[in-house]
Structure 1
Amino acid sequence: MKRKATAVWNGTVKEGQGHLTTQSTVLNQTQYSFNSRFADGIGTNPEELLAAAHAGCFTMKLSLDLTEAGFTPEKLQTESIISLDNGKIVKSELTLEATVPNISDDQFQEIAKGAKENCPVSGAFSFEITLTASLAQ
């Protein structure tokens, strides 16, 4: 499987602007700029897209792992916070809130940890990945 996205940039880094388009066109000439990356400008940015990719991949992997272990998740909600420090991405912090009937917290934590370690996006990252997982009773 291969997926693609295209970035177009016009101008200098601070005054210029760009847009991103994904193969699926979910992002279709979506604006990004210096301000959307480093301030509060309108548009997306690479770190936000990495956060979405990590949250989405981890959550799907967890759903697969729970199902294979015999549990049916009712709801899995994951937030990823990507931290950029001195021009380098240094961390992805995953926070998971889950509703999974008939599972113990120990089982849940073990499966969630495995999903964090083995989702394809986690495998692509060389920076720190943390997970805080809570199971609703």
Structure 2
Amino acid sequence: MITRTATARYEGMGKSGKGWVSTQSGVLKDQRYGFNTRFENEPGTNPEELIAAAHASCFTMALSFALANAGVNDGTLETEARVKLDQDGAGFKVSRSDLRLRASVPGIDDEQLRRLADEAKQGCPISKLLNAEMNLEVETTTPAA
């Protein structure tokens, strides 16, 4: 079993409060977050952005391993995840995560890439964690010769 940790601190309450989030790896160290970074686009991060980063990176890595297992050793995968936050009664919920994959992978046809991408979407641990609708859009490009 592997355990990873992150910590969040919030000082003050509600809209006037300010928070900081840090990760075990140190990639995030006292990164600012709060109402203004979540709902008003002030500099800093927010939980949905962090979920989007986790989902994009998890899916992309899962697909890279699936492609390697299929004998593909070269190419580029780039995934954008868009996590939607919707009002849910008096509160909010993450309602969906849309993945958009741009792939340049020589030696594999579009049908096989799409099948492997769909399997990676279903199988990556972050996909399994999310209790939200998920969509996947795949765009392939021809590798430069």
TM-score (norm 1): 0.98
Q: Which residue does the alignment assign to 1:26?
A: 27
How many residues are treated as equivalent by the alignment? Answer: 137
SS in 2 for 1:103: coil
Matches within 5 A, 1:1-137: 1-86=2-87, 87-137=92-142
Following superposition, the deviation at residue 73 of structure 1 comes to 3.8
Distance (Å, rounded) in 1 between the aligned partners of 2:25 and 2:113: 33
RMSD of aligned Cα (Å): 0.7
Structure 1 segments of 4 or more deviating over 4 A? none
Gaps of 5+ in 1: none
TM-score (norm 2): 0.93
Distance (Å, rounded) in 2 between the aligned partners of 1:20 and 1:62: 29
Gaps of 5+ in 2: none
For residue 17 of structure 1, what is the amino acid of its counterpart?
K
Distance (Å, rounded) in 1 between the aligned partners of 2:129 and 2:74: 26
